[in-house]
């Protein structure tokens, strides 16, 4: 019983956090790939046909996304307990921003379910012409993508207190904190570009995400030094 009640060591908590971070990534990437590969900007017929022809994959993408957000919840909790002794205020802020982002990401999937209903062929949809249904599918796809951009705000914000915690800790290298801060700035920059230059096609998170990748690999492979 005494063994069970013993708290996890810092190194074990680091490994758990790294494993959760790694576990979340493939589900999120797969879902985003399915979503963006089906969507054809302002081409209602092609977008509808893409989704209809691979409806099972589209549904799997929704499930995969929701699963990634469940893992994100566990990750936020894990990092909070891992780092809260460094600074409780920053750790709490990190968790709050993460949970808001998760709530936005969960709620945003309503648009994906709306698309599935439009493709369901229900009798109540008979009042719509085919081109109207296709236009609605594109509209909900746009709204879903905009919802992801709103989530970008919190995907960026939660990384700044995390960066502060890493930088201030005695058991993680400071350069990881700098890389995580850059990753957070990347999400916010992508959000601003999407708002003010929506047709530019500019995106930086595929490059700034490297900070999160280095961080999770460090936790998994190197772990932390006990203090």
Asked whether residue 3 carries a pLDDT value surpassing 60, the answer given is no
Q: Which of these ranges, 52-61, 72-81, 195-204, has the smallest mean pLDDT?
A: 195-204
The pLDDT confidence band at residue 7, using thresholds 50, 70 and 90, is low
Note the helical H segments in 6-87. 10-38, 44-53, 55-83
The model scores a pTM over 0.75: yes
The pLDDT confidence band at residue 39, using thresholds 50, 70 and 90, is confident
CB 184 within 8 A of CB 156: yes
Q: Which of these ranges, 12-16, 40-44, 63-67, 125-129, has the smallest mean pLDDT?
A: 40-44
Of residues 113, 128, 105, the one with CA closest to residue 51: 113
Which distant-in-sequence residues (6+ apart) come within 8 Å of 30 by Cβ?
61, 64
- pLDDT (tens digit per residue) in 70-114: 999 999 999 999 999 999 999 999 999 999 999 999 999 999 999
């Amino acid at each position: 019983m005494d063994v069970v009640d013993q708290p996890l060591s810092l190194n074990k908590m680091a490994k758990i956090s790294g494993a959760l971070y790694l576990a979340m990534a493939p589900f999120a990437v797969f879902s985003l790939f399915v979503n963006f590969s089906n969507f054809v900007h302002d081409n209602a017929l092609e977008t509808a046909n893409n989704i209809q022809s691979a409806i099972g994959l589209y549904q799997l993408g929704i499930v995969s996304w929701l699963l990634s957000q469940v893992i994100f919840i566990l990750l936020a909790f894990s990092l909070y307990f891992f780092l809260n002794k460094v600074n409780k205020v920053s750790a709490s802020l990190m968790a709050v921003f993460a949970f808001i982002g998760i709530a936005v990401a969960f709620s945003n999937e309503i648009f994906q379910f709306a698309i599935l209903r439009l493709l369901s062929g229900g009798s109540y949809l008979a009042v719509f012409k085919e081109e109207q249904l296709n236009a609605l599918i594109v509209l909900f796809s746009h709204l879903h993508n905009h919802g992801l951009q709103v989530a970008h705000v919190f995907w960026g914000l939660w990384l700044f207190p995390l960066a502060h915690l890493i930088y201030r800790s005695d058991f993680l290298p400071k350069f990881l904190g700098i890389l995580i801060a850059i990753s957070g700035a990347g999400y916010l920059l992508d959000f601003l570009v999407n708002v003010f230059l929506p047709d530019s096609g500019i995106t930086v998170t595929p490059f700034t995400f490297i900070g999160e990748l280095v961080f999770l690999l460090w936790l998994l492979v190197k772990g932390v030094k006990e203090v």
